Amino acid sequence: MSRILVAMCTHILMGSNSMSRCSDWLKNRDVRKELRLDSGLSQRTINRAISLIGDHSGEILVRLWEGLDSRYHFENTDVTSMVLPSL
């Protein structure tokens, strides 16, 4: 799963939010070699990864925050009381 996430994030950072284009991009042998993927990822695999990320998004955000906080030792930051503006 981690290599799939790396591939998806890399594709997004290159300027495309389209996950259907991501599976096409991963058909390129040089891209797969750079990302250490044995084969391209099908659109179905990418969609499943997105679904799993969505199902566990709360846990993922908590773990990311804990990792950042343990590394950078943020002080006086209470993310549990953050209020996001309504749109």
Q: Mean of the pLDDT values across residues 17-41?
A: 91
- Three-state DSSP class for 73? coil
The span from the CA of 12 to the CA of 71, in Å, is 25
**Domain limits of the chain?**
2-72
Contact between 21 and 8 (Cβ < 8 Å): no
Contacts 24+ apart (CB under 8 A), 67-74: none
What are the tens digits of pLDDT across the range 47-63? 999 999 999 999 999 99
Q: Which residues contact 64 (CB under 8 A, 6 or more apart)?
A: none
Contact between 49 and 19 (Cβ < 8 Å): no
pLDDT at 12: 93
Q: What is the pTM of this model?
A: 0.66
Q: Mean of the pLDDT values across residues 71-81?
A: 72
Please determine, for residue 86, whether its predicted confidence score (pLDDT) is greater than 70.
no
What is the overall mean pLDDT for the chain?
Answer: 87
pLDDT at 78: 64
